[in-house]
Structure 1
Amino acid sequence: MSLSFFWSREFLTNRYFLWLLFWCNAVGTVYGYIWYGDQLERTLAEQPLWQIVFVPDSPTASLFFTLALLWVLYKPKSVVLNRIGHVIQALAVVTSVKYGVWAVSIIFAGWMQGGSPHWQDWMLIASHSAMAIEALIYVRFFGFRWVALLIASLWTLLNDTMDYTYDIFPWLPGSLYEHLDGVRNFTFGLTLVSILCAWLALRQAKRT
């Protein structure tokens, strides 16, 4: 068996493998929301209720990807459900690439500013790298087009705006708070790069 088999449609869309991927992402999503527990509690206590949806960034990205897999497993006949699925798939790609790369970058930036590595950091590096990689691998099996990508782009930019306007961005390594302007600029820039990656992957998918 050649290595190319593991990149093939036959392997990647095998229902057993898709369900394995689904449950891995579902468990990771639940763990991610638990990880955000303290920040969610503080936001509920100190901020308006409507802001809570913008707090857990990476778990929500993982949730989008988990749901997106359902549209690969079960293709609905309803046009409305298809359109909803396309938006979820576009959100899955843009946010998984964005927050996957963001988390890894922030961890390394914290280390460069004198922070000490912990085992949880390596776990987060592995899981968030996987988020970005799987989104780019599966974009060719998703059915979204430009309108859905535009909606996903606007949502992600709105989320960035809410995070850094109301200080509900993910908690950072302590050494990075004095560089918050740089983190904010990096975050917005990474969103634009993630949108571009999704657009390029979408173009490539249409050619294959």
Structure 2
Amino acid sequence: IAIAAIYFNKHLGLFECLAFVTLIKYGIWAVVMNLFVMIHYDQLVPMAIMLMTSHGIMAIQAFMFYPLFHIKTWHIIVTMIWVFHNDVIDYVYHQYPVYSMLSQYESHIGYFAFWLSIGAFLLLLYLQKNIKLRSKYLT
């Protein structure tokens, strides 16, 4: 949605903020979970390698599109509510993607997901405060 809006010279800051945070969070989450699957099986798992590659690229995309995004403070607040609500739904109500071979580590995975949320928001706040790419290159 955010990319389509930008293509049509529109900005949907809330979707742009959601895109940035979730590309970082879930890109890294999937890489780490699939790495643990390969460690668990003690072998290279082709599906896990493909998922690690594609999800790693998701995290990179967040940085590629960031200069095009117009994110305001209220977008960050709403995104925080959404992402932390999603963490509760995932790990309190057990609605997360299940890697059955890692189920014994569910509480650790939930804790890791929580800190990925925090990290993605801190990174966004840092970029918002310190990186002025938009004003320098895109105006």
Give the structure-2-normalised TM-score. Answer: 0.87
1:168 aligns with: 95
> 1:107: how far off?
0.9
Tell whether 2:107 aligns with 1:181: yes
Output the CA distance in 2 between the equivalents of 1:151 and 1:96: 16
Decide which of 113, 118, 124 is 1:192's aligned counterpart: 118
> 1:147: how far off?
1.1
Give the structure-1-normalised TM-score. Answer: 0.60
Alignment deviations for residues 106-128 of structure 1 (CA, whole Å, 9 cap, x no partner): 11122223354322111111110
Output the CA distance in 2 between the equivalents of 1:129 and 1:162: 24
Give the counterpart letter for 2:99 in structure 1.
L
> 1:151: how far off?
1.0
| Segments ≥4 residues shifted beyond 6 Å | none
Q: Are the structure 2 counterparts of residues 141 and 75 from structure 1 closer, same or farther at C-alpha, using a change threshold of 3 Å?
A: same
2:4 aligns with: 70
Which structure has the bigger radius of gyration?
A: 1
Answer yes or no: is the 8 Å Cα contact 2:34–2:49 preserved in 1.
no
Percentage of pairs with the same residue: 25
Q: Are the structure 2 counterparts of residues 136 and 205 from structure 1 closer, same or farther at C-alpha, using a change threshold of 3 Å?
A: same
Output the CA distance in 1 between the equivalents of 2:42 and 2:124: 32
RMSD: 1.6
Alignment deviations for residues 41-73 of structure 1 (CA, whole Å, 9 cap, x no partner): xxxxxxxxxxxxxxxxxxxxxxxxxx1112221
**Structure 2 unaligned blocks of 5 or more:** none
Alignment deviations for residues 14-39 of structure 1 (CA, whole Å, 9 cap, x no partner): xxxxxxxxxxxxxxxxxxxxxxxxxx
Alignment deviations for residues 157-187 of structure 1 (CA, whole Å, 9 cap, x no partner): 110100111111111151x111111111101
Q: Are the structure 2 counterparts of residues 115 and 158 from structure 1 closer, same or farther at C-alpha, using a change threshold of 3 Å?
A: farther
**Structure 1 unaligned blocks of 5 or more:** 1-66, 77-81
